[in-house]
Structure 1
Amino acid sequence: MSAELRKRGRPRGRTAGPGAEDSGGIRALDRALDILDLIASSSGLTLSEIGQRLDMAPSTVHRVLVTLAARGVAETDPATQAWHVGPTAFRHGSAFMRRSGLVERARPLLRRLMEQTGETANLGILNGDAVLFLSQAETHETIRAFFPPGTRSALHASGIGKALLAHVRPAQLRLMLQGMELQRFTDKTLTEALALEQDLARIRARGYSLDNEERTPGMRCIAAPIFDLSGEAAAGISVSGPTLRMSDARLEAMSEAVIAAARELSFGMTPARGTGAES
């Protein structure tokens, strides 16, 4: 199970009680998805490593992996015995990204934003209590930010995450903050709800968010929300890079470029459905 899932308090491995299926869940399917989530967030894990991380018996992990492999959702490297996601998982993910057409429409804008700022441009959406990155245009600089599609990042310590949180309805935001663990990543991470809410108010006022070394020391991110036809902040676009290049002197010009790209992508989106956000 990924670290994000554990922090949300989701049951691990075999801890589900006998009423798990009665409550609407299927325990075996839940275990399979836990395993798929774990291998998708890693660069390859052996069967024993998966079992240890999820507190599952090796025999259970083996049965799940064999089933996933038969459907092409997972596959193993014979040389290392490490498990990875398979081609069918890519097909499923591609279907999700085709749904709104956002990734295709954003691709040239991400490229343009990268060329304008000289930094990596990113596209992401709200996914539960995290940002899910969908696409990226990498800078050619040696030192650069890297968020490959499928990467998840904490909302409170992410440029796109805070840009999206800033436009969540107040009642919904309160509920989200109550259920979120504001994990400290650096000495600049906002780990108090009040401090985060004050930052979100500033973001709404100026139109863009700033991750100022809140997730990774020495790295900054500027982001702006992308609105759908219903006026909801359904996605976000950002540029990320080292603080030495994303200096205070460049913030105004870079934020203007990010806001312009977000506006160009906004309102052409259909209303968000099933991204993991509560309605």
Structure 2
Amino acid sequence: MAAEPAPNQSVERAAALLRALAEGHGDIRASDLAAAAGLGLSTTSRLLATMESLDLVVRDGGAGAYRLGPLALTLGGAAANQSRVYREARQHMQNLAGRLGLGVNLATRDGDHLLYLFNTEGPAAPKAFTLTGQRNPLHATGLGKSLLAGLDAAGRRALLPADRLTAFTARTVTDHDALDAEVDLVLTRGYATEIEELALGRACVAAPIRDRGNEVVAAVSISGPLSALDLSHRRDELGQAALELADTVSTALGYRAVALPPQALAAPPESAG
């Protein structure tokens, strides 16, 4: 058999710079990009000049700083539009955000993180930025717990070793037994909850989206400030809304309900959130 072709070093380096720009906030100087990407300044400058000529980056002539360019925006929009789950979910998400006044988010699993495909928000959960394209940990989010429902316990442990269950707040799930209980709730109740596990003052409910093969391919969530969600009184209402949205998208993807085995009908104890 022919050997696998070696990775192209220039492409890898350019991708590292684009990633650093995507993860940054505002314009970034070439020296800071070089440090973030682990590259020399001369290499970084040459790559940035090429990417600028291709409209992948834009340079502020006065400050000498860079940001992502119009081609990067075009590519991001095209990537979203090529996702069937995005196309099926987008309008329903906007309708729900308008009705509830809260944030509605769509994500898929990308390795050991979730990747936001789309988000929209209502007046009770405004954002000055888009989540699209950003990543978050699986174990500390309602979306992540819903996505992990597509794996069995062994698969979750292989994907997320115990030392990867990082605490972001005092409420973050940091052991697999507790995470198993959270995922079991998704499988029996239909939706996950997350209360201040990733960020203080924030909460969400989320539900998995399945395809025609009954595989979990994405998840949707309803999110916002604790006071806006008021989960102590609205958990079931919002959980049902997330579940119905997920079911609408799943049905469009060809999903058909599968009967649960008898042992799965015994619901586990309710979690704290």
Give the Cα–Cα distance (whole angstroms) in 2 for the partners of residues 23 and 195 of structure 1.
43
Q: Which has the larger radius of gyration?
A: 2
50, 63, 66: which one aligns with 1:83? 66
Instruction: Give the whole-Å Cα distance in 2 for the aligned partners of 1:146 and 1:180.
Output: 31
Displacement of 1:216:
0.6
Aligned with 2:248 (options 247, 254, 264): 264
CA contact (8 A) 1:144 1:242 kept: no
**In the aligned structure 1, how far is the partner of 2:164 from the partner of 2:191?**
23
Q: Does 1:223 align with 2:209?
A: no
Deviates more, 1:77-86 or 1:227-236: 77-86
Matches within 5 A, 1:16-95: 24-43=6-25, 44-95=27-78
1:152 aligned onto 2:135: yes
CA spacing shift, 1:145–1:180, aligned 2, 3 Å: farther
CA 1:263/1:22 → structure 2, altered by over 3 Å: closer, same or farther? closer
In 2, Cα distance between equivalents of 1:142 and 1:112: 15
Distance 1:259 1:53 in 2: 40
Shift of 1:38: 1.0
Assess, with a 3 A threshold, how the Cα gap between structure 1 residues 180 and 81 changes in structure 2: closer, same or farther: farther
Residues 102 and 269 in structure 1, CA contact (< 8 A), matched pair in contact too? yes
Q: Unpaired runs of 5+ in structure 2? A: 256-273
Cα drift, residue 197 of structure 1: 2.0
- Distance in 2, matches of 1:207 and 1:199, equals 11
The answer for the alignment partner of 1:4 in structure 2 is none
Partner deviation per Cα, 1:139-195 (whole Å, 9 max, x = no partner): 113766965211211111121111101222444323202287222111111122232
Q: Report if aligned partners of 1:117, 1:254 keep a CA contact under 8 Å in 2.
A: no
Q: How far did 1:79 drift?
A: 3.4
Describe the shift of the 1:193–1:23 C-alpha distance in structure 2 as closer, same or farther (beyond 3 A): farther
CA contact (8 A) 2:149 2:183 kept: yes
Question: How many residues in Structure 1 have an aligned counterpart in Structure 2?
Answer: 251
Q: Equivalents in 1 of 2:254, 2:34: separation in Å?
A: 40
Q: CA RMSD in A?
A: 2.4
**What is the SS of the residue equivalent to 1:157?**
coil
TM-score, L = length of structure 2: 0.83
Quick one: structure 1 residues 270 and 126, their matched pair in 2 at CA, closer, same or farther if it must change by over 3 Å?
farther
CA distance in 1, matches of 2:254, 2:19: 27
My pick for the range that moved more, 154-163 or 22-31, is 22-31
CA–CA distance in structure 1, aligned partners of residues 17 and 74 of structure 2 = 18
Which residue of 2 is the match for residue 138 of structure 1?
121
